[in-house]
Amino acid sequence: MTGPRPPLVLASASPRRLDLLARIGIAPDRVVPTDIDETPYGGELPRPHAARLALAKAEAAAAVEPEALVLAADTVVAVGRRILPKAETEEQARACLDLISGRRHRVMTGVVLALPDGRRLKRLVETAVTFQRLTGQQVADYLAIGEWRGKAGGYAIQGHAEAFVRFLSGSHSNVVGLPLFETAQLLRGIGWLRP
């Protein structure tokens, strides 16, 4: 990147993404939450869905911050071709947990870096996760804690649900909401971060 380094804008209302970036020493200059419709299209597959929403968030923030470097992401939990919701009710969270109990599922995050020159750099990162088979009591106890609220797939690996994870293959930070290695790679690639 030639010339002065543009400010970094995080296009996300998620405190997790801010925390994740802080872990690798990155503090965005500004946070611009976006409010886009996150409803999947009929028959939309998980990967294109995550990629589409990440780009939509990036474009929404870039429209108000055209001189900035905009980082956006969207995290989706999928069982096969099925996209699980971001749990807003206990019933939704229970349905998600019943589906992923004892079964391998995938967590994918679309990441988009929007540059002031109009370029859009994209990554799609996938992590495979297998939970132990959950007992009715474990589900009830987990629901009572409330950590599922607003989380894709009805759980947060960075909390009590980590105790259910039998197997994980790929990026852990990707499950929390932002794959740090790939994000750093994007920022290094444009010279914003030192290689």
Ligand X SMILES: Cc1cn([C@H]2C[C@H](O)[C@@H](COP(=O)(O)OP(=O)(O)OP(=O)(O)O)O2)c(=O)[nH]c1=O
Residues within the interface to ligand X (CB under 6 A): 12-14, 16, 33, 38, 57, 74-75, 77, 86, 107, 151-153, 155-158, 175-177
Residue of 29, 35, 74, 117 with catalytic role: 74
Q: Which is nearer to ligand X, 5 or 169 (CB)?
A: 169
Mode of pairing for the β-strands spanning 8-10 and 30-31: parallel
In Å, what is the CA distance from 29 to each residue of 26, 47, 52, 70, 177? 9, 29, 25, 10, 19
CB of 52 to ligand X, least distance (A): 12
What is the residue-wise DSSP string for 50-106? HHHHHHHHHHHHHHH-TTSEEEEEEEEEEETTEEPPB--SHHHHHHHHHHHTTSEEE
Q: Which is nearer to ligand X, 2 or 17 (CB)?
A: 17
Most distant pair of Cα atoms in the chain: their distance: 58
Burial of 100 from C-beta contacts in 10 A (0-12 / 13-18 / 19+): buried
Q: Is 37 a catalytic residue?
A: no
Q: Which is nearer to ligand X, 75 or 171 (CB)?
A: 75
100, 142 Cβ separation under 8 angstroms: no
Q: Which is nearer to ligand X, 72 or 187 (CB)?
A: 72
Q: How far is CA 105 from the centre of its chain?
A: 15
CA dihedral 159, 161, 163, 167 (to 10 degrees): -120
Q: Which is nearer to ligand X, 171 or 187 (CB)?
A: 171
Coil vs helix vs strand at 15: helix
Active site residues: 74
